[in-house]
Amino acid sequence: MKLSMWILADWLEKYQPAVKIERGEPILRSARILSGDINIEKQNVYLAGANEFITNENDKVICVSGHDMILLNTTDMDLALNDIFDAFDFYNSWADGLYESILDGCDLQYMIDESSSVFQEPLVIYDANHMAIALSSKYRVGDIDHEWDTLLKTGSNSMDKLQQMKYHLHRSKFSHQVEVLNLPYFDKRFLQRMLYTHGNVAGRIIMLEYFSKIRHADFQLLEIFGDLVELWMTHNTDTKVMREETAVFKDLINEQPISENELDHKLYTAGWNHEHDKILAKVLIPPEYKDITYPLLSRLENVLEDCYVFLQKGTIYILVNLFYLPEIKMMDILSYELKQSAACCGISFKFHDILQLAVCAEQCDIALQYSKKKKGQVYYCKEYALEYICGILQSKATKASVHPALSILRNHDQKRKGDLYHTLYTYLINNCSLANTARQLSLHRNSLMHRMDRIRELTGIDLKDAGTREYLYLSFKIMTVK
């Protein structure tokens, strides 16, 4: 691995280093004594007597990398150089050893235990459901604080802390660098490094600031450790450890078995009650615009708070809790964002039981299949469910399955240039209201009653019978689809 001047400054602590570091990038691979005939290479740190560069510093050694400088309180340049070589050996042995162990199939607990000499503070690796799946084993109950004890006993932070962290956990999804967090409901600060797989959050690593202050080097070392954990994830895709945060919802859509404890924990952490009204949305992007899928996914994640936005087989799904994001507001946000991307979406019926997600995904498909698919439009399954059912019936239907009254009325209208067929349909869709039907057909009530008498005379149907009305209505819908 490559070291930085910050990491070297910490390693050389015994020399009481004075530092002037502007960049401190992890670019260093070796160290050399500075001499007049040497070609300066940016991957090296160079040592020289400090008096060659700074007046009145005769008893010190300077370490230089670009504009970064460490001043060591010693005159023994060879000893300082050997200590720097030891730093390279130590950190390279750590990183290379973990890399080899990953290839050999180690687990995450092994990776944390092997890093105890690098990180002097407690480490925890969480999965996307905020369960602690590995943590520093050298710290036992009573060694840190009550929250650490809860982690050891339950594998998770206390539920009240998870509820308090709700906003932070959402915001952290968009953090792609190590950051220091000072949350008011925790006694200590900590460093956090988010973990990603295929661009989706899969978990996080935290390092507590318990025994000593967070150092610049800790940021860089935690970033390197995070890279190694993500490498571990790519070599362990067949395990359910460290899956992306929406994996449980993908399992539900695919009708895969899931752990109800895992699901309950995720929903509780998000503050989702089982009784909350929820809907599922599926975004349809035209094939010629498929390259906007990931930018749109990222955009929707940012603007749709308290929602789960995820990619399933190249398609964007949005799981919405209407308790937190009211339907009207959701419609406004979705319509605006979809118009910008030439996309539309289908919406399921409202539901409570998250285990019904596969059915809800089918409802989204129904809405998209039968809609006009105009960009920016949001289509509800409830508006197209009957058409879908009629489409299924129509694909199996024969003339014998349609109520014979329709054929009688059509033949009559063709011969007499009448409108009895349409009159009966309008009467049915107006719930058999004479007033509403007459108004829609622009007829006098008496004229409509005359038509209805003629319909009964020609067909012999009894419109007072509910079964007959339903059969006629369904027959009209089948014929409309056909």
Residue 214, pLDDT > 50, answer yes
Q: What is the mean pLDDT of the chain?
A: 89
What is the band of 161 on the pLDDT scale with cuts at 50, 70, 90?
A: confident
Q: Please state the separation of Cα 196 from the chain's center in Å.
A: 10
On whether both 288 and 164 belong to a single domain, the answer is no
Residue 436 located in a structural domain: yes
Q: What is the pTM of this model?
A: 0.70
What is the band of 314 on the pLDDT scale with cuts at 50, 70, 90?
A: confident
Residue 174, pLDDT > 60, answer yes
Residue 350 located in a structural domain: yes
- Total residues belonging to the chain: 482
Boundary residue ending a domain (188, 205, 234): 234
Element spanning 216, H or E: helix 216-234
Residue 97 located in a structural domain: no
Alpha-carbon distances, residue 265 vs 163, 173, 191, 262, 277 (angstroms)? 11, 18, 24, 5, 18
Find out whether 313 and 359 touch, Cβ atoms under 8 Å.
Answer: no
Containing structural domain, residue 31: 5-81
Q: CA-based angle 166:172:176, to the nearest 5? A: 170
- CA 475 to CA 70: how far, in whole Å? 87
pLDDT at 481: 54
On whether both 379 and 450 belong to a single domain, the answer is no
Alpha-carbon distances, residue 43 vs 27, 91, 117 (angstroms)? 6, 16, 25
On whether both 162 and 262 belong to a single domain, the answer is no
Residue 408 located in a structural domain: yes
- CA 79 to CA 61: how far, in whole Å? 10
Share of the chain above pLDDT 70, in %: 98
Mean predicted confidence (pLDDT) in 330-358: 92
Which segment of 4-13, 219-228, 367-376 scores lowest on mean pLDDT?
367-376
On whether both 187 and 207 belong to a single domain, the answer is yes
Residue 241 located in a structural domain: no
On whether both 251 and 379 belong to a single domain, the answer is yes
Say which residues have a Cβ less than 8 Å from residue 28's Cβ, sequence separation at least 6. Answer: 2, 3, 4, 5, 8, 43, 44, 45, 65, 88
Residue 102 located in a structural domain: no
Q: Which residues pair with 205 in a beta bridge?
A: 125, 193
Does residue 95 or residue 35 have the better pLDDT?
95
* Dihedral over alpha carbons 67, 69, 75, 80 (to 10 degrees): -110
Residue 101 located in a structural domain: no
pLDDT at 482: 47
Find out whether 415 and 466 touch, Cβ atoms under 8 Å.
Answer: no
Mean predicted confidence (pLDDT) in 272-285: 92
Residue 145, pLDDT > 70, answer yes
